[in-house]
Each structure stands twice: as C-alpha cells, then as structure tokens.
Amino acid sequence: MTNPGNCAVCGVAASQKCGGCRNVVYCGKEHQIIHWKKGHKAECKCYEIATNDILGRHLRATRDIKKGEIFLREKPFIYGPKVASAPTCLGCHRSLPNPVPPQKNFYKCSRCSWPLCGPQCENSAHHIDECELMSARKFKAKIDFDPTKEGTGKKESAYCVILPLRCILLRNKNPEAFARFAQLEDHLNERMNTPLYRILSANLLTFIKTIMGFSEWSDDEVLRVAARLDTNTFEVRQAAAGQKLRAIYTNAAMISHDCVSNARHTFDDQMQILFIAKQKIAKGEIIATSYTQPLKSTLMRRQHLSQAKCFECTCARCKDPEELGTFAGAILCSRCKVGKIISTDPLDNGALWKCQLCPHEIPAKQINWGNGAMLKEIESLNKMSPRAFEEFLHRYRDTLHEKNTHVLQVKYALTQLYGNAPGFKMHEMNDAAVKRKVELCQELLEVAEILDGGWSIFRGNLLLDLQEALVVQAKREFESGLLTKANVQEKLTEAMELLKEAVEIMKLEPDMQEALAERTQQLAKELELD
C-alpha cells in the first residue's frame, strides 16, 4: 500500500489528487494514466457499500460529493421488457409501431414468432440465445396486432417471462455474472403471499421448467430470479429511441431509499445509469434515492414501498405525523372546522387518524378509501382544462389541507396546464392566469425544498415554468406602463438566473436538451432587445 502523501505509482512525495475518489495522489498526469490502466479504474469510487440492520447493504459517501456531481455511472448488467409491456422488439427493444397497410400484423421472428422490428433484429445479441432455445423447444409466441385495441396502449403480460429467461440463460453462459446477480436481494418470502406472485408462479414456472425445459431448476430458484428483478430493476425510458424497459445495474441496485433523497438518477443514450447528487453529500453520509414519489402522502408512499419493494420505510419524513411541516397527508376536521386530522402513528398504516384540536377520529381504512376516491377523481379530470383542476381545488377547499397530497398534485398539474393547455398558451393567457401560474410555481418551490430538496427534477420543472411566466408578466407590465425599462431588465435578468439553475439541474435529462437551448436563446435575445 502506498503512503497517502506519495505518488501511487513511483512513491515520490506528491499532491495531485485523483479527481474521482480523492483517495490517491500522483506526481503527474503520466503516472495517473498508468495507475488508471493498472486497475485504479475499477476501484476509483467516491462511495463504498456499507451495511446496517435497517437498510441492509447501502451506499455511503467516502468523500464529499458536490451538488450536481455525477458520482456513479454504470452500464446495464441485463435488460429486457417490463412485466407487462406494449408490443416491443426483443432485438432492439423499441416499442413496435402499428403495422402499415397492407401489412396487418407485426413482423414476426421467423424462428420463435415474437414480434420484432424486422429481419435485422432476428440475430440481435439480446435475442439470439432465447430465440434458439424457444425454437428448439417449438415454442411460438402469440402476440398479434389488434386493430380494435389500437391507441389504447394495450400491454401484453406474455412479456413477463422474457427477462427472467435471459437471467436463467446467464447461469450457463456466464456463471460468474449470474453469481453477481444472485447476490441481489429478492424478498421472495414476502412476495409469495401476493396475488401477483400466485399468478406469476403458475405462468413463469410452467414456461421456464416445462416449456423451456429447465426442469433441473427448483421452483424456488426460478421465482427468486423474478423476485430479484422486481426488487432491483430500474425502469428505463428512452423517449428518443422509443424504449420503455427494465434493467439491472448491480452497483446502482445497492442504493437505498429515503423519502427525502439526496440523489437522483437519469439515463444516457447508451442506457448507462447516471446518479447525480441533488445536494452536497458529506463524506460518511448515506447516499439515498427515492423509490417513490415525493408528492405522495406517507400512507400512500409506505403502502407503495411495502408492496413493490417489501419494506416498511422509517425515514424522518415517514416518522413525522406532520410530514416535515407540510401536512401532505392531512385533511381538515369536519367537526371543529379548524383542526387538522393526521395519523396518530404514521409508522403503523392501520393506526387511527385524529384531529389535532378536537376529539374527532377517523379509521385508517376510511382515509385510505378517501385517498383512492380522490385519485380516481383526479384521474377523471379533463387533462386539457385548467378550469377542471381549479374546480377540484375549490370543491375540496374545506376538506383537504392546502398542502394535502391531492392538492399538491393538482397544483403541480396546473403549473403545467397554464402555458400549455389549449386556449391557455402563454400568449393566450390573461394577466390573472399568468399571475396564478407564478404563484403556484412559487408555492410549490417551497414544498419542493422540503420534500424533494436540492436539484430535483421537480424543482427544475418548476423553475422552467416560473421563469417563463415571469418573462411574460414583466413584458406585459412594461407595456402597460407599470414597470420602467430598468425594472423589466431587472426582472428578465432574474428570470435568466432561474433559467440558468434549471439548465444546471436538467442538462443531463436527454429529452430536455432542445427545449433548454431554445429557452435560453429566446430569453437571451429578449434581454438583448431590451
């Protein structure tokens, strides 16, 4: 082992730290390159895998990580279609477009009949092994284009066998890689009692053991593969390539959950996962991402985490009946009219809910029912109509707390409807609507700071919407004589600052590049003109 103050290659006193891990020093660039090639590449990380009783394995920072820093970049270990997937090519994983007449059906693989883009995808490295096995076993897939279901985004559950099959094939093809996969947590015992696993076990076991002939695999081994996938896969959306998949990343799979996370992820066009620090992460701190959505209330988040990832979250937000002062789960008391009704024990999903000011109590079952009804009602709102969303807020102003999860969701939807919905494009909105957009963005930015702090996508979107509305507002106020030229310049400069921060936050999001460049150019032009 080299002395921490000496070059890792030649041992002379040195001070140029490796920019990645900051754990080793070099006398110069040349020795840094040599060390990298000799194996530092594999060990140069700013995190380590730690273990504790609550989280199991998790990542911990081994040095300070800067806000906005990409601290983990990883290629997919294995990937394939989601459990229920719209028709997808098993060769290149693009969602399949509807057949163009005179074709009436998808192109089908000549050997196994799974829909593909075309003959060029039959021999893709992703598909070839499974295809050979399926054709040897005389299995033919039966997914056909259904014109009566056109446009419904119909998902096929037949795809649920593909990724488990790819993992199972890996055991013979690359036992070392399979051993790495087998290290991942599965929660099979908890999953076995769920309705999904009762159905899955019947279908998957028949397919793998009987149809594909893996009779030497025990039921437990096969189902553990599926359970490992369900516990660890990331959903990958590649809008440009028209892909919606699930993938395993074995390092990223070690990142634990916290309802208020300090890291988030995105994907590049090579399907690499990139983890980004939303805020500064100090050396020794746990690196956590969120497996759920920050605007959901504790009851909803905990139910989702328990169902999908089989654990009971006990993070600071979950423990706090007031949800860090936001009251995101609270409803208003219908008896005393002033108190807020919150859970008496947020870590027990079945605990009684009680008014903070009067003796009024509500069972958790009823709160759950109410949440379900609200979600349905929001789902049924006309997505083109800001008025429908405003009416929802008005309808429940005496029932839901002003920062209740459903109110927050509807307000967030409104920040995007104002400026985009038909009749509500930025230039079409009246001054009151522009003002409303500004206020909603400002209110939600305060919430974002608490529930999804730092450089979150939530903050990025809100900043973009806010700056757009502020620019329109400033120009109109100038035109009507309410602002001087200097005032407008000041407001536009302020908007530019917001835009710059939004660009910093969103610059790695593949689908945002064009929009961000366009916005920046437009605002810069307006500033110049002014």
Backbone angles phi, psi at 526, to 5 degrees: -65, -40
Interface residue with ligand SAM, options 72, 90, 212, 254 (CB under 6 A):
254
Distance CA 309, CA 296 (A): 16
Amino acid at 391: E
DSSP category for residue 255 = P
261 binds ligand SAM (CB under 6 A): no
In the bound state with ligand SAM, the residue whose beta carbon lies nearer, of 257 and 296, is 257
The position carrying tokens 């990025």 is 460
By the 8 A CB rule, do 260 and 453 touch? yes
Give the bridge partners for 288, in sequence order. 256
Q: Which stretch binds ligand SAM (CB under 6 A): 53-61, 79-87, 137-145, 367-375?
A: 53-61
Backbone angles phi, psi at 506, to 5 degrees: -95, 0
Q: Which stretch binds ligand SAM (CB under 6 A): 248-256, 262-270, 412-420, 438-446?
A: 248-256
In the bound state with ligand SAM, the residue whose beta carbon lies nearer, of 141 and 255, is 255
Binding mask 494-523 for ligand SAM (x = CB under 6 A): ------------------------------
232 binds ligand SAM (CB under 6 A): yes
In the bound state with ligand SAM, the residue whose beta carbon lies nearer, of 156 and 323, is 323
Binding mask 305-334 for ligand SAM (x = CB under 6 A): ----xxx-x-x-------------------
How many of the other CB atoms lie within 10 Å of CB of 461?
A: 21
Min dist. Cβ of residue 193 to ligand SAM (A): 16
What six digits make up the tokens of 470?
């502020």
In the bound state with ligand SAM, the residue whose beta carbon lies nearer, of 155 and 180, is 180
Peptide bond into 102 cis (omega under 30): yes
265 binds ligand SAM (CB under 6 A): no
Q: Which stretch binds ligand SAM (CB under 6 A): 2-10, 36-44, 55-63, 193-201?
A: 55-63
54 binds ligand SAM (CB under 6 A): yes
What are the Cα distances from residue 85, in Å, to 199, 356, 465? Answer: 17, 45, 32
Footprint (CB under 6 A) of ligand SAM, residues 152-211: 184-185, 187
Type and span of the H or E element at 368: helix 364-380
Residue 267 three-state SS? strand
In the bound state with ligand SAM, the residue whose beta carbon lies nearer, of 168 and 315, is 315
User: Which residues, 6+ apart, have CB-to-CB distance to 446 below 8 Å?
Assistant: none
The residues that touch ligand SAM, with contacts defined as CB under 6 A, are 54-58, 184-185, 187, 231-232, 253-254, 256-258, 309-311, 313, 315
